[in-house]
């Protein structure tokens, strides 16, 4: 039986195209000129799902004016850069990942004047802004596609991939979001099939066509001119296709890595990225990251090795995809993050994240959202994100320890990926109780419930009816309550962001794994010059003893998510989900 992947098949690879490091309040003792400093390595990114952050006009949908209202809150987090999911005109088949006009703002979100005011408000506060660029596909309601489908000899015909039906059925292609998992859609008007790796309302653009590429670069320049500081390229590893359309073996799509292997990192991907670098990234002080890095470390390196002049940062999915609803392998988690950190230790750069708009909540997947452990495990996970080597991405609400809300029935889901996966699972005869459990553990709607501002109705996200339910636990977990509590997840997050910003060792220090076989503790050091810091993270619900090598002598405590920690020589005993960073003596 086939299964359909519910989450992030689609890596995010980040590209921040700038070269001048900006000053930071750092106080490292080593020779800083030895470090390959870049501002986008030192920044902390905060991702906002605009639909769910703050509604300013009572229609139940978050908007740009809402974000403007909350800029001081965003600033108070200490973060440097905001990435917003797509805000362009869109019929919202896939919540903005289906764009019908690349040079306009979605009516639900506001106007171009609101956009300008928002970016100005960020810049006035020293916050940079990253735009999501969705160009593997457009909406079928984009003018280009309307033209393209109208006749075979329309000038826009070659903006998309078409297969004339007189040639028979095209070679099978898997679709991530299609109800039948079929990426070819028959279009009667011209008796041909068009390709859509995602939903049928998201036709894939034909990047082989130089006109398409020029349209995209020009569009990116339009936004760069407006002051955008970075670009996140959505599903970009798929833009270059093998248009000889080879047939692959039966059933390969059951293995998502095969899908990425066959469809990702196509023959001209590097050429396109170099063109984009030449025309866009090199001309502006912008950062850029693209989603997906192929299937090997070599692929990932080939996207971000600086001398290739393509992307700045690799955004891989292996880490975030590890948490599975039937349990997950902690040793594999440690090994995987270590593999990436070590591989990029001296060349290239990676992104670090444990959640985004394509996954359920971080604390519900990697931590423990029961009342006893939610706060310590959320703080522990944020300690991890902000002390690993790579640029950290925090998904809105994870600073509060927001949890995945339970949905009882498929009717509560809004995401096309979940709804179509449900239909597909049903048609394939899957055990639907089990499927609903899986959906509850990992589906994207779980990570998209509205931001919890206070304990009032709808958490003060909206005065109307929210587009997706507000988690009832907002009465306890919310910004107002956490602001007032010095021990809250929120205040811990702020402290941890500041620790990273004040100490280059957490950005550039060498990473070394300790206690690789330990089944409860993730332990590593970061070393810069003569300084060495020890990070100890208990990923379990029980006490854990870290018996460190004798030469380790924990000194100053840099941060601790509990009031105390028990140290006896080089043995440290950690409480459930305790996180501590020590300077080593």
Query: Which residues of the chain form contacts with Ca ion (CB under 5 A)?
Result: 55, 57, 59, 61, 63
How far apart are alpha carbons 314 and 316 in whole angstroms? 6
Q: Which entry of 70, 132, 234, 482 is annotated as an active-site residue?
A: 234
Among 178, 358, 482, 518, binds ligand GLC (CB under 6 A): 358
Residue 97's binding partner, choosing from Ca ion, ligand GLC, none, with beta-carbon cut-off 5 to 8 A by kind? ligand GLC
CB neighbours of residue 124 within 10 Å? 10
Residue 438 in contact with ligand GLC, rule: CB under 6 A: no
Query: CB under 5 to 8 A by kind: which of Ca ion, ligand GLC, none does 235 bind?
Result: ligand GLC
DSSP 401-467: T--PPP--SGGG---HHHHHHHHHHHHTT--HHHHHHHHHHH-GGGG-SPP--SSSGGGGT-SS--S
Q: How far is the CB of 48 from Ca ion (least distance, A)?
A: 14
- Which listed residue (55, 70, 80, 94) binds ligand GLC by CB under 6 A? 94
Cα separation, 59 vs 447, in Å, equals: 20
Nearer to ligand GLC, 119 or 235 (CB): 235
Q: Out of 46, 83, 193, 198, which residue is the one contacting ligand GLC (CB under 6 A)?
A: 198
Given 161, 357, 500, 501, the residue binding ligand GLC (CB under 6 A): 357
Residue nearest to Ca ion (CB): 63
Give the residue, chosen from 39, 97, 384, 453, that forms a contact with ligand GLC under the rule CB under 6 A: 97
Nearest-approach distance from CB 50 to ligand GLC, in angstroms: 13
Under rule CB under 6 A, residue 140 binds ligand GLC:
no
CB neighbours of residue 194 within 10 Å: 23
CA angle, 503 then 505 then 507, to 5°: 90
Is 234 among the residues known to form the active site?
A: yes
Q: Judging by DSSP bridges, how do beta strands 162-164 and 192-195 pair with one another?
A: antiparallel
Phi-psi region of 70 (alpha: psi -120 to 50; beta: other; left: phi over 0): alpha
Contact between 108 and ligand GLC per CB under 6 A: no
Distance of alpha carbon 538 from alpha carbon 580, whole angstroms: 9
Residue with tokens 């959505």: 234
Is residue 178 a contact residue for ligand GLC (CB under 6 A)?
A: no
Alpha helices in 472-571 (DSSP H): 479-484, 489-502, 505-508
Smallest distance from Ca ion to CB 125, Å:
22
Please tell me whether residue 45 binds ligand GLC under the rule CB under 6 A: no
Q: Which is nearer to ligand GLC, 94 or 185 (CB)?
A: 94
Site for ligand GLC in 216-255 (CB under 6 A): 234-235
Our CA dihedral for 119, 121, 124, 126, rounded to 10 degrees, sits at: -70
**55: partner contacted, choices ligand GLC, Ca ion, none (Cβ within 5-8 A by kind):** Ca ion
Q: From the list Ca ion, ligand GLC, none, which binds 61 (C-beta under 5 to 8 Å, kind-based)?
A: Ca ion
CA angle 163, 164, 167 (to 5 degrees): 100
Among the residues of 264-317, which ranges form H helices?
Answer: 269-279, 297-304
Active site residues: 234, 291
Q: Which residues bind ligand GLC (CB under 6 A)?
A: 10, 94, 97, 134, 198, 234-235, 291, 357-358
């Amino acid at each position: 039986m086939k299964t359909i992947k519910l989450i992030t098949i689609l890596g995010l690879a980040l590209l921040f195209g700038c070269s001048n490091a900006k000053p930071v309040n750092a106080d490292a003792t080593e020779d800083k000129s030895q470090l390959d400093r870049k501002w986008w390595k030192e920044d902390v990114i905060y991702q906002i799902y605009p639909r769910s952050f703050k509604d300013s006009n009572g229609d139940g949908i978050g908007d740009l004016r809402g974000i403007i209202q909350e800029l001081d809150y965003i600033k108070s987090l200490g973060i440097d850069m905001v990435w917003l999911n797509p805000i362009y005109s869109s019929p919202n088949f896939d919540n903005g990942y289906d764009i019908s006009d690349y040079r306009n703002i979605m009516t639900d979100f506001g106007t171009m004047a609101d956009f300008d005011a928002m970016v100005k408000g960020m810049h006035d506060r020293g916050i940079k802004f990253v735009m999501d660029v969705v160009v593997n596909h457009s909406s079928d309601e984009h003018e280009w596609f309307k033209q393209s489908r109208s006749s075979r000899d329309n000038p826009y015909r070659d903006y998309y991939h078409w297969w004339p039906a007189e040639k028979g059925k095209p070679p099978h292609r898997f679709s991530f979001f299609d109800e039948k998992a079929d990426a070819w859609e028959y279009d009667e008007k011209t008796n041909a099939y068009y390709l859509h790796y995602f939903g049928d309302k998201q036709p894939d653009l034909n990047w082989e066509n130089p006109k398409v590429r020029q349209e995209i670069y020009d569009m990116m320049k339009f936004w760069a001119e407006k002051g955008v500081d970075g670009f996140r390229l959505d599903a970009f590893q798929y833009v270059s296709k093998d248009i000889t359309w080879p047939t692959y073996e039966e059933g390969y799509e059951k293995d998502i890595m095969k899908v990425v292997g066959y469809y990702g990192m196509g023959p001209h991907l590097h050429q396109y990225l170099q063109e984009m670098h030449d025309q866009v990234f090199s001309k502006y002080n912008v950062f850029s990251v693209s989603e997906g890095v192929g299937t090997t470390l070599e692929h990932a390196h080939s996207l971000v090795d600086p001398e290739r002049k393509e992307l700045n940062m690799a955004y891989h999915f292996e880490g975030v995809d590890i948490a599975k609803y039937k349990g997950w392998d902690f040793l594999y988690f440690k090994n995987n993050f270590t593999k990436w950190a070590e591989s990029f230790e001296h060349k290239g750069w990676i992104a670090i994240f444990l959640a985004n708009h394509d996954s359920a909540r971080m604390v519900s997947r990697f931590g423990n959202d029961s009342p006893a452990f939610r706060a310590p495990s959320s703080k522990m996970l944020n300690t991890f994100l902000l002390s690993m080597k790579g640029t950290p991405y925090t998904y809105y609400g994870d600073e509060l320890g927001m949890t995945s809300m339970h949905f009882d029935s498929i009717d509560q889901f809004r995401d096309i990926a979940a709804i179509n996966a449900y239909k597909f699972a049903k048609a394939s005869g899957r055990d639907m109780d089990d499927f609903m459990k899986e959906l509850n553990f990992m589906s994207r709607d779980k990570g998209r419930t509205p931001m919890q501002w206070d304990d009032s109705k709808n958490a003060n996200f909206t005065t109307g009816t929210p587009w997706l339910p507000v988690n009832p636990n907002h009465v306890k977990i919310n910004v107002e309550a956490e602001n007032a509590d010095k021990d809250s997840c929120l205040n811990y997050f702020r402290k941890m962001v500041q620790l990273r910003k004040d100490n280059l060792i957490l950005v550039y220090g060498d990473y070394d794994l300790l206690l690789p076989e330990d089944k409860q503790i993730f332990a590593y050091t970061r070393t810069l010059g003569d300084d060495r810091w020890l990070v100890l993270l208990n990923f379990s619900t029980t006490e854990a003893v870290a018996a460190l090598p004798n030469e380790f002598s924990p000194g100053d405590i840099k941060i601790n998510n509990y009031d105390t920690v028990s140290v006896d020589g080089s043995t440290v005993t950690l409480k459930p989900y305790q996180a501590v960073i020590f300077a080593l003596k």
